[in-house]
Amino acid sequence: MTIRSDVDMMEVTRLTRQGRLQEAMAVLRGVFPGVHASADSRGNDGDARHEASARKSRFLSPVPPPKDAQSSWSARQSADHRGNIGGPPPAMPGGFLDRLRKLGTVRGPDGLIGRAARPAPPPSPDGAVFEDRCFANEAGSRTYKIYVPSRYKGEALPLLVMLHGCTQSPDDFAAGTRMNELAEEQMFLVAYPAQAQSANASRCWNWFNGGDQLRDQGEPSLIAGITRQIMSDFPIEPGRVYVAGLSAGGAAAAVMGSTYADLYTAIGVHSGLACGAARDVPSAFAAMRQGGASIARSPHGAGGRLVPTIVFHGDGDMTVNPVNSDQVIAQSKAATSLSTKVSRGKAPGGITYTRTIQTDHAGRSMFEQWVLHGAGHAWSGGSAASSYTEPRGPDASREMVRFFLQHSTRPLGA
């Protein structure tokens, strides 16, 4: 069989996963059948119109590096953007079609093929709840997990929404960040929305799509909807709702801070990018390499309210250029004048860091930027048992929680 060099392998994979082998073979031969996914084939995304939009803009679907945090991701090729992000399509190994028929039968914790088993969720103490839920609206649907501490008695608690990185799952992210352990210690709820593989082949949040950077549209509406659903199901402390994420999840957290400043009191961005740093796949890879072309606020942005922001980024990150952390702070701060203090330190694990704190007239820390010297693309201070963590660094989870809990949008005396 002759296989064309400009084959859209993502389309071949999608068709094969649906059991549509004749159509997959046609694409491999270069006979494009013009097929489209039906609403029934979309898993938990639900909306066929969203599928058509996603196929038009294509996915940012990078190929993950080995677990070594210093390695760089590379672009997964597709016919729509191959010429913009470099390199020819990968060669077809022998037995390729046989392996395609098996896709989806051996998926790992992050949705990648080839790993033997999904890891168990992080252990919870007796009485704690870590359960699966789902939210749906006109943009589609997403599952999520919520952690309720064992000592919870129905009182109002703060809520933290955690957005995982590419190839990760809620269980993986919870284990890596140890955020559930902090929730037990300091009493707050944690939610972990899950990106669907039907929305992005590597489970990346689509922070780079124009339609996923706007209030009440696309993925921001789904994440906000999950947040509001939890707020209706549990008593949440007024003005104490926060969002944080890693990599693509960090970029999505920046989007949420820019588009829903009335919902999220503060945000945390680890190894991510500013809202609007990219508008499509080619500009996404450009922003990851050299910083975003624009850091202008979303037209549906914060409405003048400063959104307190804490940022972590390794200066050895080969996946997302550290300059993006400067742009996240610059976007959140806008033109506000604040006092600045710079300090340096060393984590018990050996990673040194520079910490820049910007405070308001009352002495409150409004922006914190942690530059981790020599660290790569990984959650600082995380568990080595999970993916994309740097156990030697300062504890980003604990520092984020400290930063968040000192901020509330509830009026004094209310």
Domains (ranges, CATH) in the chain?
9-102 (no CATH), 129-405 (3.40.50.1820)
The structure tokens 């914190």 sit at 368
Q: Which of 35-44, 149-158, 273-282, 394-403 has the lowest mean pLDDT?
A: 35-44
The answer to whether the beta carbons of residues 311 and 292 sit under 8 Å apart is no
Helix (H, G, I), strand (E, B) or coil at 142: strand
The answer to whether the beta carbons of residues 12 and 27 sit under 8 Å apart is yes
- 148-179 per-position pLDDT tens digit: 999 999 999 999 999 999 999 999 999 999 99
Q: What is the pLDDT of residue 156?
A: 97
Helix (H, G, I), strand (E, B) or coil at 179: helix
Q: Quick one: residue 156, left, alpha or beta (phi over 0 = left, psi -120 to 50 = alpha)?
A: beta
Please give the Cα distance from 146 to 180 (Å, whole number).
10
Q: Which of 25-29, 53-57, 82-86, 223-227 has the lowest mean pLDDT?
A: 82-86
Two tokens at 160?
Answer: 């933290």
Q: Quick one: residue 214, left, alpha or beta (phi over 0 = left, psi -120 to 50 = alpha)?
A: beta
Buried b (16+ CB within 10 A) or exposed e, 3-39: eeeebbbbbbbbbbbbebeebbbbbbeeeeeeeebee
Residue 341's nearest CA partner among 319, 321, 320, 369 is: 369
**What is the distance between the terminal CA atoms of the chain, rounded to a whole angstrom?**
72
- 95-122 per-position pLDDT tens digit: 433 433 333 332 222 222 223 335 567 7
Please give the Cα distance from 151 to 148 (Å, whole number).
9
- 171-205 per-position pLDDT tens digit: 999 999 999 999 999 999 999 999 999 999 999 99
Please give the Cα distance from 320 to 318 (Å, whole number).
6
Q: Of all residues in the chain, what percent carry a pLDDT higher than 70?
A: 67
- 299-327 per-position pLDDT tens digit: 334 456 789 999 999 999 999 999 999 99
For 55, 57, 61, 277, the CA distances from 200, given in Å and listed in that order, are 10, 11, 7, 19
Please give the Cα distance from 146 to 91 (Å, whole number).
42
Segment holding 214, helix H or strand E: none
Q: Is the pTM of this model over 0.85?
A: no
The DSSP code sequence of 60-101 is --EEP--S-TTS--EEPP-TTTGGGS-SPPPPPPTTHHHHHH
The answer to whether the beta carbons of residues 253 and 242 sit under 8 Å apart is no
The answer to whether the beta carbons of residues 156 and 240 sit under 8 Å apart is no
Give the type of residue at 365. S
